[in-house]
């Protein structure tokens, strides 16, 4: 485990869905005091289970010891009160992939956190400049786009806003490196950043081919995996990241670019309307059994 980055000891995480819980685990394992906040007690309960299970898997694989797992879990404070994030050296927002809720969250965090604290977003597509406009510290706002699941994926996409300072980027890189991650700073912010400009077309093309009756979803996934050598097919990918998240990203990129190519397919919209969001609800393009409503 790397030593904590200079100037950081307490990390706030706003949003305790699957991604938020994973980021909590990453920060806690790195030795930071973590405050995990979500207004929904049931989300916090699921996140606690996620953390216990995730740490347990690392123990069984010999990555950490039982004592290290218990210490990591003990460094996390769970709360439904936004005010408990006050005093954090950095806060990572991990809520729904929509502009207005994120801006509201950033404005609230800006009022709570110390002047030098960083405001970071796990957004996978939204302009950091727009999110930073809701604060009085746009120079200390940046993106930290983790990938699913955060404890296992090494790279973290770091988009900057127009006013993000070079000093902030260096601090973000140091923080992510202390998490054991590989920060990849984007030279220019574009809707969808880099990762989703590759991933979303997979989901788009898969859905369109399926809607046109070219092949079944199972056959499309099989060709992408066994033919192209990808580790996951487009429908499996959509279910994994959450179809609601995929729809939010596509709608944002489509709106920002004005490119009809990114118009979300009807099939995806219908699955989201039906509450079939993927793994987290137990049903998406495929059925998984059980599941829970989780962002």
What is the C-alpha separation between 194 and 199, in angstroms, rounded?
9
Catalytic residue among 122, 196, 236, 254: 196
Catalytic residue among 145, 254, 271, 279: 145
Alpha-carbon torsion (197, 250, 25, 6), positive or negative: positive
Name, in order, each residue with C-beta under 8 angstroms of 152's C-beta and a sequence gap of 6 or more.
none
DSSP symbols for 49-108: HHHHHHHHHHHHTTSS-HHHHHHHHHTEEEES-GGGGTT-SEEEE---S-HHHHHHHHHH
Tell me, yes or no, if 157 is annotated catalytic: yes
Distance of alpha carbon 39 from the chain centroid: 18
Catalytic residue among 93, 157, 236, 295: 157
Tell me, yes or no, if 121 is annotated catalytic: no
Q: What dihedral do alpha carbons 254, 257, 261, 264 form, nearest 10°?
A: 0
Tell me, yes or no, if 145 is annotated catalytic: yes
Tell me, yes or no, if 271 is annotated catalytic: no
20: region left, alpha or beta (phi > 0 left; psi from -120 to 50 alpha): alpha
Contact 216, 173 (CB under 8 A): no
Would you please indicate which residues are annotated as catalytic (active-site) residues? 124, 145, 157, 196
């Amino acid at each position: 485990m790397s030593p904590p980055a200079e100037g950081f000891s307490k990390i706030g995480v706003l949003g305790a869905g699957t991604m938020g819980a994973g980021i909590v685990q990453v920060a806690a394992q790195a030795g930071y005091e973590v405050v995990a906040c979500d207004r929904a007690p049931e989300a916090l309960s699921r996140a606690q289970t996620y953390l216990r299970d995730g740490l347990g898997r690392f123990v069984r694989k010999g990555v950490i010891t039982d004592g290290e797992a218990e210490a990591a879990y003990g460094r996390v404070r769970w709360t439904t009160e936004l005010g408990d994030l006050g005093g954090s050296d950095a806060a990572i927002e991990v809520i729904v992939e929509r502009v207005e809720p994120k801006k509201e969250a950033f404005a609230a965090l800006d009022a709570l956190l110390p002047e030098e604290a960083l405001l970071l977003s796990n957004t996978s597509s939204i302009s950091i400049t727009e999110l930073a406009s809701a604060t009085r510290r746009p120079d200390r706002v940046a993106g930290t786009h983790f990938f699913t699941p955060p404890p296992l994926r090494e790279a973290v996409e770091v988009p900057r806003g127009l006013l993000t300072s070079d000093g902030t980027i260096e601090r973000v890189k140091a923080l992510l490196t202390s998490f054991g991650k590989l920060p990849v700073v984007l030279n220019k912010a574009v809707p969808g950043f880099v990762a989703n400009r590759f991933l979303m077309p997979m989901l788009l093309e898969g859905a369109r081919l399926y809607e046109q009756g070219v092949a079944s979803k199972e056959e499309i996934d099989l060709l992408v995996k066994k033919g192209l050598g990808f580790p996951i097919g487009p429908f499996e990918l959509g279910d994994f990241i959450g179809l609601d998240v995929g729809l939010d990203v596509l709608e944002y990129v489509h709106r920002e670019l004005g490119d009809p190519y990114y118009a979300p397919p009807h099939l995806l919209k219908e699955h989201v309307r039906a509450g079939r969001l993927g793994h987290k609800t137990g049903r998406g393009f495929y059925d998984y059994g059980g599941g829970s409503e989780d962002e």
